[in-house]
């Protein structure tokens, strides 16, 4: 079917608009609101909306600005013939007129019917109007919609065509449907979504029954096994009980034997103890006697020894006494010698002392004289000093500084003078015939006068000269300076109380000399110790007096002493000798004394010792006597000793026997044996108690109440389990089989649908590759008779579902799909169907749009009539379409 | 003198494998009913007493109802009954034979029931019983050992009858399908002073069998399992004299029939043969037979479906059908073509082809599922 012309009158904004379509490519451009979409709508309504009617669609086409009812005239080719359709939408009086060129004309209902036949689409109900041919004519704003939705409407037609194309496809029959449904139903009833059996299905119930039977069988087995266990335990515990009781009996008799042994041991122990005591007594007795014997013997020996030693001792004493006497005499003599020596010494000392005192006094005298001399010197020096000081005081106080200052002042004055003089002019009168006066003074020829100030020189009466030495003021200044310096100097001289500087220097020198001399004198005084001198002198005088007194005293002492014989000699030497003699005498006396005392002591000691020894001997003798009395004479004693010895031996032998007897009973093992026995008893008792308990316990478990027979119960449970298993397995087998069939049906039907959809997908892919490149592909499925799963594949990147694509991509894919679909459907329309793209690529970028043009171009080449509406027709220039511009 | 030798009554056996509750009750009751028949046989032949050589009860702990019923039935016999414990109803601590309830019911309902729990001779008026009771399930020692050293002098001319329960050399009650026991209670009969003994009444082997000149197994009076080379369902009437070989007459006492059948399918048409086989075995009765059926060979799908149907009918008629199904499903060519070549369901045909493929898989699970699937498809289509 191909559109040729369309004229629209009184249709909304169009008063009258006529368009001529190109057979292949038409581009309708125009700005927004220029009525492009309205035209398309009008075309659509002309084909698919009944002329008579007053629906919303009818009302929508009414024009507000133009009078008259909407009218659409279309010229098109269908079924190999050209037709003209004129539809007037006048509400109830609307009319339709369809004319086949060179053929019949139909009006109204007939026309509508014929139209429907030509388009292959029945007239639409008002509410489904926009769905009609929605797959072919893309309305503004709907370009991104999933093209499968409108395709559903055409599905059967598509499938029909596709089946023809598919060629070797196997059709499905009714019976196939029925069978597929039958098995699908069964599977749905039997299994849940995840493939598990439904609890309510036969299989599910069989499964449950199986589970329960298993549980029951397990329980029955457990019960039976528990009983058997109890039986086994009962038997075992019985055995153990018997064992334990037998063991206990044995242990108890052993225990009795042990007790007996304990008794026996105690008895023997007592015997041993008694015997032990007897032995100890015997030993003691024997010992006692033996000791006594020993003591006796010892005493005797001792006594003898002592007696022997007495005699020599006595002799020694006698001799010592003799010696003592001698020593006493020596001592007395020595005493006397000493006496004499002491007296001599005393005298020598006194003489010496006197000599010394006299000497000292002499010394003191000299000292005093010395000091006196010195004092005189001091006095002289002092007087000299005083004189100098007076002289010094008389001189004006000048110091080097002052003198220097004077000198400086003098120099200054001299300088001032010099400079002044320098400035001075010397006026020399060489010759003059007139009287020359200089400052009133006459200056005779040959006189020179130094002039230091401006002076008037009068020469005669008529000539008066002023001389300015030094050029004016300088002279005045110099004079002033000189005067100042002179004054200064004078002032200073006055201050220093000198007449001149030279004098000042002289005075200063004099001062200095004086001062120097004074210093010398000072030091001399110091050297003489002037300060201390008086004191020293006084002291020395005192000492002299004392020394003289002392001397006197000693002289007196001497006279009181006895003078020894012999010459006196030097007092010093005399002393020494006297001392020596005295010392010797003393030493001698001491020795003698010491010896005598020592000897005395020793003698006394000896006497004492002797006395003691004699006493001891006496004691010993009496002790001996006692012992003999006590123990009898020698014979008796010997007897007693022998019998005591015998007794001891006997007792010891007896003890030995008893001990052996005790050891036989191994008392040291007793404690261990006891412990061992006790442990064993405990153990066996424990075993017995445990066994009793276990027996009672297992007996309890064995006792049944007779309500049920566990053996029978197990058999029953087992049989039930086997039956449930068999039933379940059978059902499971059937279910698996039916499921397999269902799977196979699903697979086969899917394969079938894939076969059908493949040509469509391939066709769309062909278009898409023009836009997306050679890697692009389209995938789509037919499921349960509906198209679904539209997706764009991008080679490596995988496939993206239509709804996940971007706006632009969606437009492009949708367009490709429509083109492909139209191609297929066009078969029934002599190979051509008109496709309208109203602003269908709003989201596609210009580059893509250019690629889209290729797609559209291809479609046109394949026979489709492509009509594009756009506000930017420039973008579509490359399509090479007939361009129509709406103003 | 004459007495009745029986054993292995297994009273109280649950017969749990009989699925239908009522049929199960019926089978169980038969175990008790046979006691009456034994009594009739005994009285008919003038037996002085009845000996039960072990396993009177099926369990060491039967419930009270069972105990009461058994005592009642035994009491109704009107003859003294001497029982030893077997391996199923063994003695030992707290065994049922010493429980107050059993003693009470015995005293009340079967005062002439004597349970011999000790291995010592029991002298009766006309015979001496030498019981060898089992005091536990597995007794490693020979329970007849005590007889070896016995002084028989006291017994005079009374016939000596040994009562024992266990297995003898050469064969034992090797476990039958339902109830394999493995209880090894060996009896070394050859070590006994056989000259002093006149009859050995044995129990444990459920089929009646002579195992020595004087030793017999009575077998169970009412069969309780599918037989395998034995003949259960008898009581033995024994005539015995001191020093003479015993005279033994086997009397049939069993009522329900337990069949062991096998069938091979070579052709689908063999289904009819199977029908015939079953019908013959059960002699067109319902409610009196138990059948163990082993099926081998292969069947097509329709035939298989047909078999299933028939088996349902048999299940209803029989007290129990124990099926060992070793049949292979072998869909016939025609059947397969019908599925794979059908034009009115091309999808199903394709699927059938695929399933046929899978049924030849080396993975047994996959193959089995595929075969089952083919059956389903065949059935649905």
* Interface probe, candidates A242, A740, A752, chain B, greatest B C-beta count within 10 A: A740
Type and span of the H or E element at B247: strand B247-252
CB B233 within 8 A of CB B221: yes
Q: Take residue B187 and report the two structure tokens written for it.
A: 């009896």
Q: What is the pLDDT of residue A356?
A: 86
Whether residues B347 and A180 touch (CB distance < 8 A) is answered with yes
- Which one of A173, A702, A733 has the shortest CB-CB distance to B372? A733
Q: Is the Cβ–Cβ distance between A464 and A458 less than 8 Å?
A: yes
What's the rounded mean pLDDT across residues A726-748? 90
Distance, CA of A188 to CA of A180 (rounded, Å) = 12
Tell me the three-class secondary structure of A91-139, residue by residue. Answer: HHHCEEEEEECCCCEEEHHHHHHHHHHHHCCCCCCHHHHHHCCCCCEEC
pLDDT computed for residue A216 by the predictor? 93
Of B94, B368, B369, the CB nearest to A699: B94
In whole angstroms, what is the distance from residue A819 CA to residue A839 CA? Answer: 16
Cβ <8 Å between B17 and A744: no
Q: Is B284 a residue whose pLDDT tops 70?
A: no
Q: Are A651 and A278 in contact (CB under 8 A)?
A: yes
Q: How many domains does chain B have?
A: 2
pLDDT reading at B180 higher than 50: no
Determine whether the interchain pair B373/A235 forms a contact, defined as Cβ–Cβ distance below 8 Å. no
Q: Could you tell me the two tokens for A331?
A: 């001592």
Domain boundary among B193, B225, B252: B252
Helix (H) or strand (E) holding A299: helix A202-394
User: Which residue does chain B place closest to A717, by CA atoms?
Assistant: B16
- pLDDT of residue A6 exceeding 80, the answer is yes
Question: Whole-angstrom Cα distance, residue B86 to residue B166?
Answer: 8
- C-alpha span between A12 and A15 (Å, rounded): 8
For residues A218-228, average pLDDT: 89
Diameter of chain A measured on Cα atoms: 218
Residue A11 sits at φ, ψ, to 5 deg, of -110, 100
Asked if A720 is an interface residue toward chain B (Cβ–Cβ < 8 A), one would say yes
Q: Using an 8 Å Cβ cutoff, are B91 and B97 in contact?
A: yes
In A, minimum Cα distance to B372 occurs at A737
d(CA A311, CA A317): 10
pLDDT at A842 over 90: no
Report the helix count and the strand count for chain A, using DSSP H and E. Answer: 17, 20
Integer Cα distance of A130 and A140 in angstroms: 12
Residue A150, pLDDT > 80, answer no
Terminal alpha carbon distance of chain A = 28
Residue A732 forms contact with B (CB below 8 Å): no
Higher pLDDT pick, B347 / B38: B38
Residue A194, chain B, CB below 8 Å: the answer is no
User: Rounded to an integer, what distance in angstroms lies between the CA atom of residue A73 and that of residue A347?
Assistant: 196
Q: Are residues B105 and B211 in the same domain?
A: yes
CB-based contact (8 Å) between A179 and chain B? yes
Query: How far B64 CA lies from chain A's nearest CA (Å)?
Result: 5
**Poorest-pLDDT segment among A122-136, A567-581, B359-373:** A122-136
Strand ranges of the sheet holding A455-459, from the earlier edge strand across to the other edge = A441-442, A436-438, A455-459, A463-467
Which of A712, A717, A748 is the best substitution to test chain B (most B C-beta atoms within 10 A)? A712
| pLDDT value of position A718 | 92
- The rounded mean pLDDT for chain B is 88
More confident residue, A177 or A243: A243
For chain A, the C-alpha Rg in angstroms (whole number) is: 87
Chain B residues whose CB is inside 8 A of the A716 CB are 14, 16
Using a CB-CB cut-off of 8 Å, the residues of chain A touching B27 are none
Residue A67, helix vs strand vs coil: coil
Distance CA A106, CA A116 (A): 12
B177 and B278 inside one domain: no
Dist. CA A501–CA A490, nearest whole Å: 10
Given pLDDT bands bounded at 50, 70 and 90, which one contains residue B177?
A: very low
Distances (CA, A) of A649 to A272, A654, A661, B148: 16, 9, 19, 75
Q: Chain A residues with CB inside 8 Å of B92's CB?
A: 231, 235
- Band of pLDDT at residue A568, cut at 50, 70 and 90: low
Strand pairing report for A2-11 and A71-78: antiparallel
A221 interfaces chain B, CB cutoff of 8 Å? no
pLDDT tens digit string along B181-218? 444 788 888 889 888 899 999 999 888 999 989 999 99
Higher pLDDT, A357 or A126: A357
Kind plus residue range of the DSSP H or E element containing A401:
helix A400-423
**Strand B209-210 to strand B328-329: parallel, antiparallel, or no bridges (unpaired)?**
unpaired
Least trusted range by pLDDT, from A406-420, A842-856, B128-142, B250-264: A406-420
Choose the final residue of a domain: B204, B226, B252.
B252
Check CB contact of A225 with chain B, cutoff 8 Å.
no
A763-786 residue pLDDT tens: 889 888 888 888 888 888 777 667
Answer yes or no: is pLDDT of A429 > 70.
yes
Half-sphere exposure of A531 (CA within 13 A, CB side): 4
Q: Which residues fall within 8 angstroms of residue A19, CB to CB, at 6 or more apart?
A: A5, A6, A7, A28, A39, A884
Task: Report the mean per-residue pLDDT for chain A.
Answer: 85
CA distances from A203 to A192, A439, A557, B197 (A): 12, 175, 168, 62
Neighbours of A159 (CB within 10 A): 18
Contact A745, B46 (CB under 8 A): no
pTM for the model stands at 0.55
Given a contact cutoff of 8 angstroms between Cβ atoms, the answer to whether B178 and B158 are in contact is: no
pLDDT at A844 exceeding the cut of 70: yes
A182 interfaces chain B, CB cutoff of 8 Å: yes
* Whether B351 and A745 lie within 8 Å, measured CB to CB: yes
Looking at B252, B281, B297, the residue that finishes a domain is: B252
CA–chain centroid gap for A794, Å, is 56
Q: What's the CATH code of the domain at B107?
A: 3.60.21.10
User: Sign of the CA dihedral A369, A375, A381, A384?
Assistant: negative
CA gap B52, B164 in Å, rounded: 10
Same domain, B268 and B241: no
A175 and B381 within 8 Å at the Cβ level: the answer is: yes
Best of A717, A737, A748 to disrupt the B interface by mutation (most B CBs within 10 Å)? A737
**Cα–Cα distance, B11 to B81 (Å, whole number):** 15
Q: Summarize the confidence of residues B289-297 as an average pLDDT.
A: 90
Token reading at B60: 């060491």
Nearest Cα of chain A lies from the Cα of B335 at a distance, in angstroms, of 17
Backbone angles phi, psi at A821, to 5 degrees: -60, -45
- Do B198 and B101 belong to one domain? yes
- Residue A32 distance to chain B (closest CA, Å): 55
Q: Is B312 found in the same domain as B369?
A: yes
How many other CB atoms are found less than 10 A from the CB of residue B300?
20
Q: Does A708 touch chain B (CB under 8 A)?
A: yes
Cα-Cα-Cα-Cα dihedral sign, residues A673, A676, A680, A681 = positive
* End-to-end Cα spacing for chain B: 74
- Regarding whether B182 and B105 lie in a shared domain, the answer is yes
Ranking A170-179, A326-335, A616-625 by mean pLDDT, the lowest is A170-179
**A261 inside 8 A of chain B by CB:** no
Q: What is the ipTM of this complex?
A: 0.87
- CB contact under 8 Å between B347 and A234, yes or no, is no
Between A174-190 and B346-358, two packed helices, what is the crossing angle to 10 degrees? 50
Helices A400-423 and A501-528 pack at an angle, to 10 degrees, of 170
Considering only CB atoms, A172 lies closest to which of B13, B94, B347, namely B347
* Amino acid A206: pLDDT: 92
Is residue A689's pLDDT more than 60? yes
Whether residues B347 and A715 touch (CB distance < 8 A) is answered with no
Distance CA B127, CA B122 (A): 9
Q: Are residues B239 and B371 in the same domain?
A: no
Residues B203 and B277 in one domain: no
Residue A455 has pLDDT above 90, yes or no: no
Residues 6+ apart with CB under 8 A from A654: A275, A278, A279
Residue A682, min C-alpha distance to chain B (Å): 29
A-chain residues within 8 Å CB-CB of B17? Answer: 719, 722-723
Instruction: Round to whole Å and give the CA distance between A832 and A841.
Output: 23
Contact between B101 and A706 using a beta-carbon 8 Å cutoff: yes
* Spatial separation of the C-alpha atoms in residues A372 and A533, rounded to whole Å: 9
Inter-chain CB proximity B380 and A182 less than 8 Å: yes
Q: Flag whether residue A699 sits within 8 Å of chain B, measured between CB atoms.
A: yes
| Residues B244 and B104 reside in one and the same domain | yes
Residue B179's pLDDT band (boundaries 50, 70, 90)? Answer: very low
Give the model's pLDDT for residue A56: 83
Residue B99 is nearest to which of A171, A706, A736, comparing CB atoms? A706
| Chain B residues within an 8 Å CB radius of A737 | 369-373, 375-376
Q: Write out chain B residues lying below 8 Å of A704, CB-based.
A: 61
Percent of chain A's residues with pLDDT above 90: 18
Top residue of B12, B13, B14, B96 to mutate, by most chain A CBs within 10 Å, is B14
Least confident of A127-136, A666-675, A744-753, B74-83: A127-136
Nearest CB to B373: which of A709, A713, A740? A740
- Rounded distance between C-alpha atoms, residue A379 and residue A388, angstroms: 15
Backbone angles phi, psi at A455, to 5 degrees: -125, 155
Q: Say whether residue A163 is in contact with chain B using an 8 A CB cutoff.
A: no
Find the domain containing B335 and state its range: 257-380
Contact A571, A348 (CB under 8 A): yes
Question: Given an 8 Å threshold on Cβ–Cβ distance, is A173 in contact with B344?
Answer: yes
Same domain assignment for residues B86 and B138: yes
User: In chain A, what residues touch B367 (CB-CB under 8 Å)?
Assistant: none
Q: State pLDDT tens for residues A262-309.
A: 899 999 999 999 999 999 999 998 998 889 888 888 888 888 888 888
Q: Are residues B180 and B277 in the same domain?
A: no
> A832 near A845, Cβ under 8 Å?
no
Asked whether residue B243 falls in the same domain as residue B271, the answer is no
Which chain A residues are within 8 Å of B99, Cβ to Cβ?
Answer: 706
Residues in B closer than 8 angstroms to A715, CB to CB, are: 13-14, 16
Place of tokens 């038997």: A235
> How close does chain A come to B297, measured CA to CA in Å?
20
Query: Does residue A191 carry a pLDDT above 50?
Result: yes
Mean pLDDT of B57-67: 90
């Amino acid at each position: 079917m191909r559109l040729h012309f369309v004229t629209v009158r009184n249709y909304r904004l169009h008063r009258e608009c006529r368009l001529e379509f190109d057979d292949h490519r038409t581009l309708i451009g125009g700005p927004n609101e220029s009525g492009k979409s309205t035209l398309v709508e009008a075309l659509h309504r002309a084909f698919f909306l009944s002329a008579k009617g007053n629906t919303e669609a009818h009302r929508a086409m009414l024009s507000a600005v133009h009078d008259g009812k909407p009218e659409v005239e279309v010229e098109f080719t269908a079924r190999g013939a050209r037709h003209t359709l004129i539809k007037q939408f006048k509400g109830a009086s609307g009319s339709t007129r369809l004319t086949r060129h060179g053929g019949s004309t139909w009006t109204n209902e007939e026309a509508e019917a014929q139209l429907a036949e030509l388009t292959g689409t029945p007239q639409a109900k008002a509410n489904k109007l926009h769905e009609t041919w929605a797959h072919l004519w893309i309305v503004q704003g709907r370009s991104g919609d999933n093209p499968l939705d409108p395709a559903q409407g055409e599905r059967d037609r598509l499938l029909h065509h596709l089946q023809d194309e598919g060629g070797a496809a196997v059709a499905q029959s009714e019976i196939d449907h029925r069978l597929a449904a039958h098995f699908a139903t069964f599977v749905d009833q039997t299994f849940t979504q995840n493939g598990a059996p439904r609890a309510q299905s036969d299989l599910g119930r069989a499964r449950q029954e199986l589970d329960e039977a298993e549980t029951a069988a397990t329980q029955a087995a457990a019960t039976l096994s528990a009983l058997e266990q109890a039986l086994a335990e009962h038997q075992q515990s019985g055995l153990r009980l018997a064992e334990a009781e037998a063991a206990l009996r044995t242990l108890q008799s052993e225990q009795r034997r042990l007790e007996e042994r304990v008794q026996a041991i105690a008895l023997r122990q007592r015997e041993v103890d008694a015997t032990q005591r007897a032995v100890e007594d015997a030993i003691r007795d024997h010992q006692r006697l033996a000791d006594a014997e020993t003591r006796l013997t010892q005493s005797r020996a001792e006594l003898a020894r002592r007696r022997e030693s007495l005699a020599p001792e006595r002799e020694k004493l006698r001799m010592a006494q003799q010696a003592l006497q001698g020593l006493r005499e020596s001592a007395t003599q020595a005493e006397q010698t000493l006496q004499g020596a002491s007296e001599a010494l005393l005298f020598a000392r006194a003489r010496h002392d006197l000599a010394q005192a006299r000497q000292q006094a002499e010394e003191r005298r000299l000292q005093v004289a010395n000091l006196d001399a010195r004092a005189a010197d001091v006095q002289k020096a002092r007087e000299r000093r005083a004189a100098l000081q007076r002289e010094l005081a008389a001189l004006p106080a000048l110091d080097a500084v002052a003198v220097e200052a004077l000198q400086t002042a003098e120099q200054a004055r001299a300088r001032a003078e010099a400079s002044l003089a320098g400035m001075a002019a010397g006026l020399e009168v060489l010759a003059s015939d007139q009287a020359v006066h200089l400052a009133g003074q006459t200056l005779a020829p040959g006189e020179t006068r130094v002039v230091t100030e401006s002076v008037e020189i009068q020469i005669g009466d008529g000539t008066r000269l002023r001389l300015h030495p030094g050029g004016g003021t300088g002279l005045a200044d110099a004079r002033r300076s000189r005067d100042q310096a002179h004054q200064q100097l004078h002032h200073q001289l006055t201050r220093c109380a000198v007449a001149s500087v030279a004098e000042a220097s002289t005075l200063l020198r004099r001062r200095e000399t004086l001062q120097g001399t004074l210093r010398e004198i000072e030091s001399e005084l110091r050297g003489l110790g002037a300060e201390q001198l008086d004191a020293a002198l006084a002291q020395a005088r005192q000492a002299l007096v004392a020394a003289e007194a002392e001397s006197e005293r000693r002289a007196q002492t001497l006279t009181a002493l006895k003078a020894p014989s012999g010459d006196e000699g030097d007092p010093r030497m005399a002393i020494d000798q006297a001392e020596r003699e005295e010392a010797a005498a003393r030493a001698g006396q001491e020795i003698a004394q010491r010896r005598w005392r020592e000897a005395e002591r020793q003698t006394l000691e000896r006497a004492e010792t002797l006395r003691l020894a004699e006493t001891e001997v006496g004691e010993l003798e009496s002790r001996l006597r006692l012992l003999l009395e006590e123990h009898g004479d020698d014979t008796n004693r010997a007897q007693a000793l022998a019998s005591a010895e015998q007794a001891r031996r006997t007792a010891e032998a007896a003890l030995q026997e008893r001990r052996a007897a005790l050891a036989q009973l191994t008392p040291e093992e007793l404690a261990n044996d006891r412990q061992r026995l006790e442990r064993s008893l405990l153990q066996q008792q424990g075993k017995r108690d445990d066994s009793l308990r276990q027996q009672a316990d297992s007996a309890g478990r064995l006792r049944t109440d007779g309500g049920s027979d566990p053996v029978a119960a197990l058999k029953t449970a087992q049989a039930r389990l086997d039956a449930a298993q068999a039933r379940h397995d059978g059902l499971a087998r059937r279910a698996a089989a039916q499921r397999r069939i269902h799977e196979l049906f699903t697979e086969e039907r899917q394969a079938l649908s894939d076969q059908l959809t493949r040509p469509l997908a391939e066709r769309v892919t062909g278009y898409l590759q023009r836009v997306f490149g050679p890697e692009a592909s389209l995938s789509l499925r037919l499921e349960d008779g509906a198209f679904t799963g539209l997706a764009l594949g991008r080679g490596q990147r995988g496939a993206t579902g239509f709804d996940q694509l971007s706006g632009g991509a969606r437009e492009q894919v949708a367009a490709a799909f429509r083109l492909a679909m139209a191609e297929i459907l066009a078969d029934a329309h002599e190979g051509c169907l008109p496709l309208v793209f109203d602003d269908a690529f709003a989201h596609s970028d210009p580059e893509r749009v250019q690629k889209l043009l290729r797609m559209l171009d291809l479609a046109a080449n394949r026979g489709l009539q492509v009509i594009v509406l756009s506000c930017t027709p420039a973008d579509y220039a490359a399509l090479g379409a007939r361009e129509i511009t709406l103003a | 003198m004459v007495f009745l030798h029986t054993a292995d009554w297994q009273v109280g056996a649950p017969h749990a494998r009989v699925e239908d509750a009522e049929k199960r009750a019926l089978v169980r009751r038969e175990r008790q009913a046979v006691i009456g028949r034994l009594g009739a046989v005994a009285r008919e032949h003038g037996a002085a007493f009845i000996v039960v050589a072990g396993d009177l009860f099926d369990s060491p702990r039967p419930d009270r109802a069972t105990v009461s019923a058994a005592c009642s039935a035994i009491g109704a016999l009107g003859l003294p009954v001497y029982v030893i414990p077997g391996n199923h109803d063994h003695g030992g601590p707290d065994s049922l034979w010493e429980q107050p309830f059993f003693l009470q019911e015995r005293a009340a309902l079967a005062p002439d029931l004597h349970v011999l729990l000790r291995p010592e001779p029991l002298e009766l008026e006309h015979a001496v019983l030498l019981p060898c009771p089992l005091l536990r399930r597995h007794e490693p020692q020979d329970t007849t050992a005590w007889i070896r050293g016995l002084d028989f002098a006291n017994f005079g001319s009374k016939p000596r009858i040994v009562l024992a329960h266990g297995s003898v050399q050469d064969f034992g009650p090797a476990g039958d399908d339902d109830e394999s026991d493995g209880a090894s209670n060996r009896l070394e009969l050859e070590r006994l002073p056989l000259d002093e003994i006149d009859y050995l009444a044995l129990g444990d082997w459920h089929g009646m069998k002579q195992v020595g000149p004087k030793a017999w197994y009575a077998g169970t009076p009412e069969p309780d399992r599918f037989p395998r080379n034995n003949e259960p369902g008898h009581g033995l009437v024994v005539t015995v004299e001191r020093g003479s070989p015993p005279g033994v007459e086997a009397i049939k006492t069993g009522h329900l029939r337990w069949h062991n059948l096998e069938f091979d399918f070579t052709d689908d048409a063999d289904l009819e043969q199977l029908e015939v086989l079953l019908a013959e075995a059960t002699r067109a009765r319902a409610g009196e037979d138990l059948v163990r059926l082993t099926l081998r060979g292969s069947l097509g799908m329709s035939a298989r479906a047909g078999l299933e149907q028939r088996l349902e009918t048999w299940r209803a008629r029989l007290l129990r059908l124990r099926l060992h199904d070793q049949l292979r499903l072998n869909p016939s060519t025609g059947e397969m073509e019908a599925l794979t070549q059908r034009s009115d369901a091309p999808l199903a045909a394709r699927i059938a082809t695929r399933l046929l493929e899978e049924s030849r898989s080396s993975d047994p699970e996959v193959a089995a599922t595929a075969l089952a699937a083919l059956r389903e498809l065949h059935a649905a289509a």
